[in-house]
Amino acid sequence: MIFRMKTLAFYSSISGPGRSPAIFRRGFSLVEILLAILIFAVTVVPLIQIFIQSTRDAESAGDFFFAQCTLVAELEKLKSQNAISPDAFASIYGKYTATEMTEGKYVYRFTVDPDFEIRGVSPFDGSLMVTKVYELTAEATWASRNGRKQTLSYQTTLVK
């Protein structure tokens, strides 16, 4: 303890009044600075890449959500047309019908197949059961930001 006090007194007498000792004014070495930059780069670069990827994922999710909303809305329109007026629906979609529409970067295709059959076996007597239904198919296609083709499709049936 006494030695330490004498050492500090010695350095303070060398540095002069109002100045810190020369030994305490030492800067960082080049190795220390490069090491700090390396540690910073190793931790920050992956974080930046994560932020970029999350932005891309959010955009892709938005594209899928927009396409899904449009497809579901169009399918619900077809279902409600059949529920409101089955005869008019049968006259419009009495044969295989395919329609296509474009909205921005999305291309939508809707098909109605009136000759679709669902076949099953009765659990009671083992007889074959056949039900004729309308098969509705809706598909959306678009190019994502990176140029890859994205597709979303739905299929459902309506009882005649």
Q: What is the pLDDT of residues 64-75, one digit of tens each?
A: 999 999 999 999
CA dist 23 and 2 (Å) reads: 19
Q: Is the pTM of this model over 0.75?
A: no
What's residue 23's pLDDT?
A: 56
pLDDT at 120: 93
Q: Read off the pLDDT of each residue in 51-55 and give the average, rounded to a whole number.
A: 92
Sorted by sequence, the CB contacts under 8 Å of residue 23 that are 6+ apart come out as 11
Number of alpha carbons in the 13 Å side-chain half-sphere of residue 137: 15
Strand order in the sheet with 97-103: 97-103, 106-121, 128-143, 149-159
Let me know: does 72 contact 154? Beta carbons within 8 Å. Answer: yes
Question: Average of pLDDT values for 132-159?
Answer: 93
- Kindly state the average pLDDT of the residues 123-133: 91
Name residues whose C-beta falls within 8 Å of residue 103's C-beta, 6 or more positions apart in sequence.
70
